Amino acid sequence: MTAYTKLEDHFRRYLVLGQAEGVLHWDMSTVMPSGGSETRAEQLAVLKTTRHALLTGPETADLLESAAQVELDDWQRANLSEMERQWRRATALDEDLVEALSRAESACEMAWRGARPAGDFAAVLPDLNVLVALVRETAAAKAEALGLDPYDALLDAYEPGGRQAEIDPLFEDLEAFLPEFLGRVLENQARRPAPVLPPGPFPIAGQRALAHEMMAALGFDFDHGRLDESRHPFCGGVPEDVRITTRYDENDFTSSLMAVLHETGHALYERGLPPAWRHQPIGLARSMSIHESQSLLIEMQVCRSRPFLAFAAPLIGRAFGGAGEAWDEDNLYRLLTRVEPGLIRVDADEVTYPAHVIVRYRLEKAIIGGTMEAADIPAAWNEGMKGLLGITPPGDGDGCLQDIHWYDGAWGYFPTYTLGAIAAAQIFAAAKSADGTITTEIAKGDFKPLLAWLGDAIHAKGSVLPVPELLTQATGRPLDAGVFKTHLEDRYLA
């Protein structure tokens, strides 16, 4: 074996262990009894430290140095680059910190599961304080090793190459654009009949059956995936066994349905990653902004569009035995594109969604930068929501406890949501330009032309290209908020 092929075997073992870790996380979020939390924390800590030791052992550095001298093709060279990137990030941390962080993440997540429904931030604060201290320590260690700002060092784990210096002006531009635009949208909306939520209740069994029908239509492979329930919708598992979750509300089927469609977009991306590189760094999803672009493309760009509802409205009505004006495609379109500032990010419309992300981005930068403490989060959250959306949560359950991410250790993650929304508009516009049949086929319930284009342009590329190059190859330009703004104007002011 050459140094490079030894590295491939090394990283195959490292990534397979990571996949096992992912399935354990799914189990913890869906079916694990609460009494299993301590054992699960131990399992995850051992897995993470084992993986860390595998990646940071002295032979990895030697193999990386030797492999750099070997003649490789383009994909192998890109794979080697991704290997080195993961190795550099791992060697910034010692094993004790990796283990401590893993245990703190498990403890804080379990505390959040009880605190969120009770709206009791005080209940999670002790565990959150421990976690934040370890996240700051991790950020500092990675920053020193990588020559980055601490927040950028965390961001880089989710968005390779992503930096605050690029995100800040982008978000400032959106923050300047959206308030005036929101006012125009609300005025335009007020001139039209208000949509009507079809009469419920909507039994969970019917919602689940509808979700399965929609997932199958979009191309979800149930031989390689499943749908379950959790407190916070997510997509996990592995490409051969994709696990997505949702949560149901018998008074409103749209929230669960849109969550399922969103997570199906993630799942389709995972299933479309290059099979030949499945257990190599180059075969992984490129970044969280690209992952979010695929979920938001399906949920926002496609499944809230008139062509999609021409196909879906009859299926939705049939699922709940509904008939009449409330169930027709025009009403459902107005319902699913209704703009109204709200408290919950995952239920937010496209126009107000970036404000939710900007609030979180500012807070996590302040926490990591040490200018704010975890105890300050509720008041700062409420102030941010009041300033950007004009609303104040009545309690922390609908405020700073609503997202799982900070409580399970995902710091530096939130800006990727809005980066993904911008990319989604850009990618879908490019897809429609390249294949004029895409929207007409969507109206018939045929998503194959869209998925074929996405498969070639995005999914099959894995991590072979940096994000700017991937977007440029697929759409003709790097990330461009102008396309997103045009999409919003076309949909909400037309």
Active site residues: 263
- Count the alpha carbons within 13 Å of 123 in the hemisphere toward its beta carbon: 15
User: Other CB atoms closer than 10 Å to residue 336's CB: what's the count?
Assistant: 20
Integer distance in angstroms from the first to the last C-alpha of the chain? 62
Amino acid letter at 138?
T
Peptide bond into 239 cis (omega under 30): no
Residues 243 and 26: their CA atoms lie apart, in Å, by 7
Buried b or exposed e, range 172-197, using 16+ CB within 10 angstroms: eebeeebeebbeebeeebeeeeebee
Pick from 211, 283, 191: which is nearest to 253 by CA? 211
Amino acid letter at 407?
Y
Helix axes 467-475, 415-434, angle to 10 degrees: 30
What single string gives the DSSP state of each residue in 92-147? TS-HHHHHHHHHHHHHHHHHHHHHHHHT-HHHHHHHHHHHHHHHHHHHHHHHHHHT
Q: Which DSSP category does 122 fall into?
A: H
Mapped onto helix, strand or coil, the DSSP state of residue 245 is strand
Which tokens sit at 192?
A: 């039209």
